[in-house]
Amino acid sequence: MIFPDPTLPARVSICEVGPRDGLQNEKTSVPTDVKIAFIGRLVAAGLTRVEATSFVSPRWIPQLADADEVIAGLPMVVESEIRYPVLVPNLRGLDRALALGVREVAIFGSATETFARRNLNRTVAESIEMFEPVAAQATAAGVFVRAYLSMCFGDPWEGPVPLAQAVDVGRRLLDLGCDELCLGDTIGVGTPGHVSALIGEFEKAGVRAPDLAVHFHDTYGQALSNTLSALRAGVSVVDSSAGGLGGCPYADSATGNLATEDLVWMLDGLGIETGVDLESLVHTSVWMAEVLGRPSPSRVVNALAQRFARQQGDES
């Protein structure tokens, strides 16, 4: 049943991160043709913004060493409504992405010094300095630029992150000319009150909620409730990963992302439009779970997969 809430956005834009954030943490690399097929299935299910890969050095993330081949295998039509954002850490990565026709990129900063050094081998200030020419050149090329801000809520080495600290770094990333700032709960320690408080502090600093996106991990089972809190605060762009795939290779306590199926189930029940066909998406995640050789952690995937199997049995 559907019970709309007039205080929430009428439509939510889902940024599907499974092919990048989901697969980068796998112990073995998924074949390129499987990655391309995965992205195609996600698009067929109605997802129009699918983070395809990351143009980082294979030494950092060997699972995504085939970034060029993945992008070359996608229908990169500028006029298309389908968006294939990619991560780029530096100008070299940006040049590779632009040469392949990518129209949306993301840089990835950290709210904490420890994670900045572990993830980028730079201080926060040095990483922002590195991103400045990337954002400038991407903007000059007419490319949409997202800035990720990791460790917004807590850091496994530094502990809870002060609101003012996250806002300060996020504001500096936006000042580079980025179109969108995505607040990441990299280790999943955030709670709904913390989410609304952080968004409120950003608004006090002149950053509107519609210019923010959220990226929650479900380590403590708070990803859905945190998402609802962000929606109530005015955010309407939410990251999620098909089947709940993902984590962070530089933070051991970062478990899976919010499952796209769990998100869509909640949004469907609230009468919020997403454009996603949930049944098609579940079949995609079941297929990918078989490829990876383990069950999906998504409760919605498992519940609906069992229902579909029973229905198919009744029909045969």
Q: Catalytic positions, please?
A: 248
Structure tokens at 309: 């199997």
Number of Cβ within 10 Å of residue 4's Cβ equals 11
Q: Hunting for tokens 């992150």 — which residue is that?
A: 161
Compute and round to an integer the Cα radius of gyration of the chain. 18
Give CA separation, 299 vs 101, 241, 248, 286, 296, in Å.
37, 13, 21, 12, 8
Q: Which structure tokens are listed for 247?
A: 């984590």
Residue 203 token pair: 């608004």
- Say how far apart CA 109 and CA 247 lie, in whole Å: 16
Q: What whole-number distance in Å separates Cα of residue 233 and Cα of residue 227?
A: 10
Q: Is the dihedral of CA 172, 176, 181, 187 positive or negative?
A: negative
DSSP conformational letter for 174:
H
Do residues 54 and 86 make contact, with C-beta atoms less than 8 angstroms apart? yes
Q: Using an 8 Å Cβ cutoff, are 179 and 146 in contact?
A: yes
